[in-house]
A and B are shown apart, each in its own frame.
Chain A
Amino acid sequence: MRIKEHPIIEWKEKKKVSFFLDGKPVQGYEGEPIAVALFEQGFKSISESLVYHRPRGLFCCIGNCSSCLMKVDGIPNVRTCTKQVKEGMQVETQKRES
């Protein structure tokens, strides 16, 4: 959900970017991290714990924790809260085997 009105901040109009989540097309804005774009579109759970497969989502949003690790363009364990979206990027949820 985007914030529409704010008394202090003005967000500039940004270019839309299309990328893929597990092969399906999703949208984000230029300069926005992958995890933020996914969260905005309702993907709250983007990862899972290794042993018990518990759902994991954004927690720190500044690259400190490892709650948002995903596979990005074939590279596993990318902190998606600091990695910006790019046109055509392939983002995959990481399952235990990867």
Chain B
Amino acid sequence: MKQYCDVLIIGAGPAGLCAASVFVNTNVQVIVLERDPFLGGQLLKQTHMFFGSKEQYAGTRGFEISNILQESVLQANNIHFFKDTVAAGYYPEDGFMLALEQDQKLHHIYFKKVIVATGASEKALIFENNDMPGIFGAGAVQTLMNMYGVAPGKEVIMVGSGNIGLIVSYQLLQAGVPVKCIIEAAPVVGGYFVHAAKIRRMQVPILLQTTVRKAFGKQSLEGIEMVSLDENWQEIPGTERIESCDTLCLAVGLSPLSELLSHMQCETKYVPALGGSVALRNQRMQCTNKDVYIAGDVAGIEEASSAMLEGYIAGVSIAEDLQIATPEHMTLLQKSSQFLQSMRSGPMGEKICSGLQKVEESNV
């Protein structure tokens, strides 16, 4: 079926919902595609309270933020949601986005501007038998526990001590699932001190300079072999040891889902500091294909708070292009840019800023 809209938004996570909210009380026809049967993206499994400022919902839990963001956009009758619908690919000759609803219904979506807010996928880690059932991405463990109330196993080992590794370990303990240890290849804990302190208080050891060598088990995971690493990240012979576990949780980073951007001939660049291949863009979140905007993790791995801000920025930038921007829109744009800048000015923002320098080009 053919569908027409002014603005197509792909993904209804924090970035996509905030972008959509810009078009509330306008005549702009918006279509939002969401792969899941519900809105909110990965906010729904975030049970922890957010940091930052009040405007960024600090002190509010992720799933509650998702409800707040949905409220206004669901009321708007110019914003149409296609849930359970995957954006399968862009066809440049014909100029439509192909979308597949509930694995059966096909839509050809024609649009003037598009915001790609597809988010990211979890990275895997290379070791023997890493495809064995019982080995999960950390996000999968969160989904199982926090959205569906299902325990991932009886004994968990976490790989990675970044914020996700630390927070998910804490959430496992809250759900009554024992975490044996957190292993970290680097010589320092990656995440915030407060999160690590919480974990240590609950007597979960964080083993630095340690990695997983192989997994073993018959039909599913029964244990892993770990090994210590030296200062050059090389395995130290003789330090191999076996630990039993039925769940191995990989919290080793995320990588932007930028395939659709390549379909739309947006120039991309591999930037490790941003998690992988990201599209070149200007400060308005506009890509080298001028009709394409990005927001959220697909623009570089950061946080839900920055995804929301980028969503507002991309939305208002399109409102400007369509010449419907109001003074309120411009205030939102200015505020969002300021918040984003202040968020990134901390020590944790250094990596992001170094990555952004490589993709934010004034000539885009």
Contact = CB atoms under 8 A, between A and B. Distances in A.
Given A3-B176, A32-B148, A60-B122, A83 B103 contact: yes
Contacts of B140: 58-62, 81
A14 to B, nearest CB: 10
B29 interface: no
B174 A7 contact: yes
B283 to A, nearest CB: 29
A54 interface: yes
Nearest to B142: A61
B122 A57 contact: no
16 contacts: A1-B151, A3-B149, A3-B151, A5-B176, A6-B149, A8-B174, A9-B47, A36-B144, A44-B133, A45-B133, A54-B131, A59-B140, A60-B122, A62-B140, A64-B121, A84-B37
A interface secondary structure, majority: loop
B149 A2 contact: yes
Interface string A30-56: 001100100110001110010000111
Nearest to B42: A62
A66 to B, nearest CB: 11
A36 B146 CA distance: 12
Interface of B: 35-37, 42, 47, 61, 86, 103-104, 121-122, 124, 131-137, 139-140, 143-146, 148-151, 154, 174-177, 219-220, 257
Contacts of A57: 132-134, 220
A64 B122 contact: yes
B280 to A, nearest CB: 24
A84 B103 CA distance: 12
A59 B141 CA distance: 9
A82 interface: yes
Contacts of A5: 176
B145 A3 contact: yes
A1 B150 contact: yes
Interface residues of A, number: 39
A61 B37 contact: no
Contacts of A26: none
B137 to A, nearest CB: 5
A9 B103 contact: no
Contacts of B137: 59-61
A8 B47 contact: yes
A61 B148 CA distance: 11
Given A59-B135, A63-B35, 17 more contacts: A1-B151, A2-B149, A3-B177, A5-B176, A7-B174, A8-B174, A33-B148, A45-B219, A55-B132, A55-B220, A56-B131, A58-B136, A59-B137, A60-B122, A64-B121, A64-B257, A82-B35
A4 B122 CA distance: 28
Contact of B139 (A4, A61, A84): A61
Contacts of B132: 54-55, 57
Contacts of A60: 121-122, 136-137, 139-140
Contacts of A54: 131-132
Nearest to B49: A8
Contacts of B174: 6-8
B133 A58 contact: yes
Q: Which 5 A-B pairs have the closest CB atoms?
A: A57-B133, A61-B140, A64-B121, A61-B143, A44-B220
Given A3-B176, A8-B61, A59 B219 contact: no
